[in-house]
Chains A and B, each alone.
Chain A
Amino acid sequence: MNLIRDIYQSIVRRDPLSTDKGKSELVFLNVWLHIHPAKVKKESLKFKHTFYLGFITFFLFVILVTTGIALMFYYRPYPPHAYQDMKDLQFVVFMGPFLRGMHRWAAHGMVVCVFLHMCRVFYTGSYKKPRQFNWVVGVFLLLLTLGLSFTGYLLPWDQLAFWAITVGTNIGSYAPLVGGKLREILLGGHTVGEAALLRFYVLHVAILPSFMILLTVVHFWRVRKDGGLSRPVWKLKPNKPEQLVTIGAPPQTAPLNAVAASTDKTYGLMEVVTGKPIFETITPDEEEDAVFSYPYAFFREAIALMVTVTGIMAISLFFRAPLEELANPAKTPNPAKAPWYFLGLQELVSHSALLGGVVAPTLMVLALLAIPYFDRNPSRRPSDRKWAIWLFTIFVVANLVLIVIGTFFRGPGWALVPPWVHVVAGAE
């Protein structure tokens, strides 16, 4: 029995979890958990502050990676095998439809959640100093999410895939000067063909996920280094913007070896280097508001994980991922629609390809990136930032309205048709 105990203790070196020391060591000594602080503010765990949307987005990504790797065992990125493999997954492969469904619905879910997460960060003013750059990282995560959806969309090689990518890449070719070449590089040709499928595959399974993982790591690290999550709005002191409370920490300019030992608190190297205590927004009297990450934070994150996984599994049990006919370059389906989250874009494009397809989205992304640097209002309280909230809400609603029009109100020939009128398509 000694041997077993020795082995166990060589793996798990911490004290028992019943002790505070053990709870801290669980976080310190574990490479996966130590992105968390040992203790977190109780208020950070509040559901109504974050709705756990960032976590849910991340968990959806984990589902996507796992199911995606499973699908790779049966998928050849070469037309028309690609489509046959989809049919196999749908009808022959054990649990194929379920896996495909999970991958598809998690992808849709991720687009929804990443957007909602961005809205939550905006409405709680959490992009303000010192979190400006993490917002920028977030915008790139949003773009990567859309990029993964777009590249994944071609892989089934059905009619929907073929035409959505034909239209989508042609939008890119309207970009001034480089547009045409850009499209040629992306497609590896002049039309969507076998070279394009292979390129999209490599982007979808290797390049974009790598960047996604890289940026996610930076994103999480930043949350931690920016002092943990922002305070919930309802905890902000009235008329006093959130500020760093430095409880007797040495000034930043002090040379490291000349730091006087503090009498009321001891500082680690990290606090000396940054010149501020790690719990930057906590005053000593608030410190009792902090709880150990184990079990409080981990427990809640585990619940978010389980809800996400079971939710996606349940949906996949009842709804299959769609698969249309084999891609046919000669016959454009009518109406030919992009995936729903690009239908707002397609709606804009139906008015002008250059303005709607290139100028408007570019401006939107630039505006998103610029938000934390242009919004110089230090207050995070909603009553102090009516303008910002109005503008952002208009942005969100405009996007939703365009998507709804594109999804429900556009019939054959992209004509305006209300959803309650049934049109028989393709009269000729």
Chain B
Amino acid sequence: MNRRNFLSWGSAGVVTLGTGVAVSLGAVVRFLMPSVFYEPPQTFKIGTPGDFAFGMPTFLVDEKIFVFRDREKGFSVASAVCTHLGCTVAHFQSDNRFHCPCHGSVFAPDGSVIHGPAPKPLQWFEVTLARDGQLRVDKDKVVPAGYRLMV
């Protein structure tokens, strides 16, 4: 084998090997990304409008949301997940604010940050009325803070 042959076969070998390694690494990363998530659905029904009281928000434990029912303005749904690092915020009746137990973020009733490390306001989710008369929340659809469903 002469020098020229050696170099071309050699570089072909290196390229093949490199491609093989890169493809395998990609496959490993893809393998680790689940194709199916066995997690609760992002869209779910929470009951009929009559189930909710006026005034103070109702906290739904499993869905981690606050449901507001306002006499004039209707329904709105806020996320209970702190935008800092994901702890569940609590609504304090005393000051009508959301308090995060983890690093002390405080949110106003409209979700905006009053103080603390949270970088963004609490999220608001779209709530609609399903055909069967139940309220349906879609966590994939984030809406601006003023969003209301009039029932």
Q: Quick one: closest A residue to B101, CB to CB?
A: A334
Tell whether A367 is near chain B: CB-to-CB under 8 Å: no
The residue from B34, B38, B101 contacting A336, defined by CB atoms under 8 A apart:
B101
List 9 A-B pairs, minimum CB-CB distance, nearest first: A334-B101, A350-B103, A330-B61, A414-B104, A170-B85, A332-B87, A170-B86, A332-B88, A167-B85
Report Cα–Cα, A191/B87, bound state, in Å. Answer: 11
- Cβ of A188: which chain B residues have Cβ within 8 Å of it? 32, 34
Contact indicator per residue, chain B 72-112, by CB within 8 Å of chain A (1) or not (0): 00000000000011111010111000011111100000000
Are the C-beta atoms of A335 and B102 separated by less than 8 Å?
A: yes
Are the C-beta atoms of A329 and B102 separated by less than 8 Å?
A: no
Q: A184-B33, A332-B101, A413-B104 are in contact. Are A191 and B88 (CB under 8 A)?
A: no
Are the C-beta atoms of A413 and B85 separated by less than 8 Å?
A: no
Contact indicator per residue, chain A 322-362, by CB within 8 Å of chain B (1) or not (0): 00000001111111100000000010011111000100000
- Cβ of A424: which chain B residues have Cβ within 8 Å of it? none
Q: Quick one: closest B residue to A411, CB to CB?
A: B104
Report the minimum CB–CB distance from B67 to chain A (whole Å).
Answer: 15
Tell whether A143 is near chain B: CB-to-CB under 8 Å: no
- Cβ of A415: which chain B residues have Cβ within 8 Å of it? 104
Tell whether B119 is near chain A: CB-to-CB under 8 Å: yes
Q: Quick one: closest A residue to B118, CB to CB?
A: A353
Report the minimum CB–CB distance from A16 to chain B (whole Å).
Answer: 53
Q: Quick one: closest A residue to B62, CB to CB?
A: A330
- Cβ of B119: which chain A residues have Cβ within 8 Å of it? 353
Binding site for A on B (CB under 8 A): 29, 32-34, 37-39, 61-62, 64, 84-88, 90, 92-94, 99-104, 117, 119
Q: Quick one: closest B residue to A331, CB to CB?
A: B88
Q: Which of A193, A195, A413, A428 has the most CB atoms of chain B within a 10 A radius of its CB?
A: A413
| Cβ < 8 Å to B, chain A residues 176-201 | 181, 184-185, 188-191, 193-195
The residue from A333, A351, A412, A428 contacting B93, defined by CB atoms under 8 A apart:
A428
| Cβ < 8 Å to B, chain A residues 386-428 | 412-415, 428
Report Cα–Cα, A412/B39, bound state, in Å. Answer: 30
Tell whether A26 is near chain B: CB-to-CB under 8 Å: no
- Cβ of A352: which chain B residues have Cβ within 8 Å of it? 117
